[in-house]
Amino acid sequence: MARPNVFQALFRHGTHRARLVNETGGVVLAAAIETAFDSRARRAGLLGRETLAAGTVLAIAPSSAVHTFGMRFAIDVLFIDRRGQVIKRVLGLKPGRIAGTLTAFAVLEFAAGSPEVASTVVGDQLRLDVR
């Protein structure tokens, strides 16, 4: 991830203590960020988990598609570009499905049903608040 991207603050500060904010909508999407920035972590994703805690996001980068084969729960998914702009949203992606878009830089996975994620739309600008 040598080119500039929305996640650089996580690397620069050497911490994952950050929150994900929908700057356009003025809401916090996640107070905790888990990352999958290497090949092994991207392959594992959310497989083997029973759920993802409310207020948590799994950020997968680089990635332009996800699958839910082998998963036990539905997820809400936001696809973003390098600057953090939402380019696609999929709510309630059930196990055994695939979603993607060729222009995405990263995928953000949330537990299904978050009203903050549901209110996020294509074109919204997301940012990280590093603490």
Report pLDDT for 1: 47
Tokens representing residue 80 in the block: 């973003």
Report pLDDT for 66: 93
Tokens representing residue 94 in the block: 């059930």
pLDDT at 3 over 50: yes
- Enumerate the domain spans of the chain: 8-130
**Which one of 3.30.70.270, 3.40.109.10, 2.60.120.1140, 1.10.540.10 gives the CATH number of domain 8-130?**
2.60.120.1140
Query: Which contacts qualify for 36-42: CB closer than 8 Å, 24 or more apart?
Result: 36/60, 36/61, 36/63, 37/1, 37/7, 37/61
Residues 110-124: tens digit of each pLDDT: 999 999 999 999 999
Report pLDDT for 45: 63
Q: Output the CA torsion sign for 41, 45, 51, 55.
A: positive
**In angstroms, what CA-CA distances link 86 with 2, 82, 101?**
21, 10, 11
Burial of residue 6, with CB atoms counted within 10 A of its CB: 0-12 exposed, 13-18 middle, 19 or more buried: buried
Least confident of 31-40, 77-86, 88-97, 106-115: 31-40
Q: Are 25 and 124 in contact (CB under 8 A)?
A: yes
Q: Are 13 and 119 in contact (CB under 8 A)?
A: no
Residues 5-59: tens digit of each pLDDT: 888 777 665 455 789 999 999 999 999 888 877 777 666 666 666 778 889 999 9
Report pLDDT for 48: 65
Distance in angstroms (rounded) separating the CA atoms of residues 65 and 36: 13
Q: Are 95 and 72 in contact (CB under 8 A)?
A: yes
